[in-house]
Amino acid sequence: MISIRKVAVCLGVCFAPMVFAQQATEPNFVDHVAPIIYENCVECHRPGSIAPMTLIDYETVRAWGPVIKDRVVRRKMPPYFIDKTVGVQSFEDDRSLTDEEIATIAAWVDAGSPQGDISNLPAVPEFEDSVAWTLEDEMGRPPDLIIPIPEPFMVPADGPNWWMTFYSDTGLTEDRWIKAFETKPSAEGFPVVHHAVTSMEFPEGGGGFLSEYALGKTADINPPGTGQLIKAGTRLIWNVHYASSPDGLDRTDRTRLALWFLPKGEEPEHELIRAHMADNEDLDLPGGEAAIRTDGYEFLDKNIRITTFQPHLHNLGTRQCIEVIYQDNRRQTLSCADWDFGWHIAYNYAEDVQPLIPKGSMLHVTSWYNNSPSNPWAGDSRNWVGFGQRSTDDMSFSWISYYELTDEEYEAAVEERFSQINSGSD
């Protein structure tokens, strides 16, 4: 990979680290940048997917170079906004770039985006837009229940962004435990569906968050020993973000949610719950202000193990943090993430770092908002904004997935965590 010229210049005076340093400051597209882009970007930045441009051939990537550098340096792309400097740092499905990858892209753009030897270009990854369920193999059978949005939804080529709420009857006649779920836009709808979130409404009230889809995360198998309860007569509430297709075509979507159940009669050890936490509905977001903060609290009367953190704000949101306040007033930040209303992202903690929270603790969620012209999502920043359901109103809470632990289970989980740390697998 090191050019003959560089080797020649180094002859006699260079040693290995210097060669590497030189290589790192002069990256080229073929050897250094294409592997990063193909691995992390083309899933969305390719024909027939959701992003506005493809990032496959050298000429196009070079032309977009300065914008790419800006987005990756500010960690706006790929869309995964967890703050790398605070809190828990190990996630499943973490799609963010490493500091080295970001530095490589930035250095490449600064160096004038050299191509390298095009005959060494790595193969462009292939994607299957098939409508088959990806979990089918792993679960060993087709889904037990498939629930589509109620009607096909047409997204015109030149339409605005849509945030649709739909209701679907599940037709369930008995209570079941969900083992796994997968959300899929229809083949034609694939490029226009940015995210799809579902929650359940039980006939007698209650329910909760069920699933989250954003491109790249289609399926979940609930952690071993857990399941989600779905009751007979449940109504599904959809929240789907549609955006016009980058290929300029009208497209009709019929997104579906597929469920796999635990065998009848089998109860999971723990019920996995996805719930709003630390709601604050007393929002006061004055027009023209760029850094407004709100706080929400949730008292925990049970020990819990948190599996997922998903901030929830609307147009004006910019960032959310979640911390735990223990009974002795010690505080620990669990996570912070920036917010972009175009992306609803669930941050799934890796199993060995899922926060274990003792009962009697308080979850504290802090959210920040920008109601000034510097926020492109702000409608008219002369206006005051408060709490409400429209995306031009705002909200403040976290979706938290968790399961409860008895005191014994909690002690055992803490002990296991300490022994992991002591054995050096931190």
Residue listed under structure tokens 């954003």:
214
**CA distances from residue 291 to 10, 13, 297, 336 in whole angstroms, order as listed:** 52, 54, 20, 16
Angstrom distance (rounded) from CA 357 to CA 407: 11
- Whose Cβ is closer to ligand HEC: residue 220's or residue 298's? 220
Nearest distance in Å: CB 100, ligand HEC: 13
- Name the residue nearer to ligand HEC (CB basis): 52 or 140: 52
User: How many CA atoms, within 13 angstroms, populate the side-chain half-sphere of residue 233?
Assistant: 5
User: Nearest distance from residue 216's CB to ligand HEC, in Å?
Assistant: 5
Q: Least distance (Å) from ligand HEC to the CB of residue 49?
A: 7
Peptide bond before residue 224 is cis, with ω within 30 degrees of 0: no
Residues 6+ apart with CB under 8 A from 231: 172, 175, 200, 202, 203
At which residue do the structure tokens 């709490």 appear?
387
**Closest separation between CB of residue 19 and ligand HEC, Å?**
27
**Cβ atoms 393, 314 nearer than 8 A:** yes
Max distance between CA atoms of the chain, in angstroms, equals 81
Instruction: Please report, for residues 110, 195, 214, 215, 242, the alpha-carbon distance to residue 250 in angstroms, rounded to integers and kept in the order given.
Output: 39, 18, 21, 20, 12
Nearer to ligand HEC by C-beta: 68 or 88?
68
Instruction: Point out which residues bind ligand HEC (CB under 6 A).
Output: 37, 40-41, 43-45, 50-52, 64, 67-68, 71-72, 77-79, 95, 97, 215-216, 342
Give the nearest distance from C-beta 186 to ligand HEC in angstroms.
18
Residue 68 beta carbon to ligand HEC: minimum distance, rounded to whole angstroms: 4
Phi, psi of 114 (to 5 degrees): -60, 150
**Which residue, 71 or 302, has its beta carbon nearer to ligand HEC?**
71
Report the SS3 class of residue 395. coil
Residues 153-175 as b/e (b if ≥16 CB within 10 A, e otherwise) read bebeeeeeeeeeebebebebeee
Nearer to ligand HEC, 95 or 231 (CB): 95
Comparing CB distances to ligand HEC, the nearer of 248 and 265 is 248
Q: Which is nearer to ligand HEC, 234 or 245 (CB)?
A: 245
DSSP labels, 114-152: ----GGGPPPPP------S-TTHHHHTS--SEEEE-SS-
Nearer to ligand HEC, 43 or 289 (CB): 43
Provide the β-strand partners of residue 325.
331, 362
CA dist 74 → 66, 88, 208, 401 (Å): 12, 20, 34, 28
Nearer to ligand HEC among residue 115 and residue 280 (C-beta): 115
Classify each residue of 82-100 as buried b or exposed e, where b means 16 or more C-beta atoms within 10 Å of its C-beta. Answer: beeeebbeebeeebbbeee
**Minimum distance from CB of 381 to ligand HEC (Å)?**
20
Considering the complex, what minimum distance in angstroms separates the CB of residue 324 from ligand HEC?
A: 30
Please check whether residue 270 is in contact with residue 404, taking contact to mean a CB–CB distance below 8 angstroms: yes
Name the minimum Å distance from CB 244 to ligand HEC. Answer: 11
What's the closest the beta carbon of residue 70 comes to ligand HEC, in angstroms?
7
Give CA separation, 327 vs 323, 331, 360, 362, in Å: 13, 9, 6, 8
If the CB atoms of residues 127 and 299 are measured against ligand HEC, the closer one turns out to be 127
CA distance 189 to 243: 10
CB of 41 to ligand HEC, least distance (A): 3
Task: Between 41 and 277, name the residue whose CB sits nearer to ligand HEC.
Answer: 41
| Residue 320 to residues 84, 214, 334, Cα–Cα distance (Å) | 14, 19, 11
